[in-house]
Amino acid sequence: MSTVEQPPAARGRMPELRRLRDDVTPPPDLVARVMTRVSEPRLPSIWQWLNRPVLLELRISPLVMIGLAMALGAAFVYVGATLR
């Protein structure tokens, strides 16, 4: 199994990124603002609640489809016979 060598520029990126993570600290007000957004979910407005998508799922087996077709056929025959 052969190993693919990375170019010299790519080899030096990870230590540089690790050093950057250790050197930079985020400002406290940024951390507080992000944490309040994550910890306090907002309730949707009435318009957002009314405008949300509604998913309707209908599962029909082939036997139910055959039975429904037979019932509709019988209903059409019955209606056709009573109209005469």
Domain boundaries, the chain: 11-41
Helix, strand, coil percentages, rounded to 5, for the chain: 65, 0, 35
Listed as ranges, residues in the chain with pLDDT below 50 are 1
Torsion of CA 30, 34, 36, 41, to 10 degrees: 160
In eight-state DSSP terms, residue 58 is -
Torsion of CA 45, 50, 51, 56, to 10 degrees: 140
The predicted structure's pLDDT at residue 43:
84
Q: What is the pTM of this model?
A: 0.34
The predicted structure's pLDDT at residue 7:
62
User: Which is it for the CA torsion 12, 14, 19, 25, positive or negative?
Assistant: positive
pLDDT tens per residue, range 29-38: 766 666 666 5
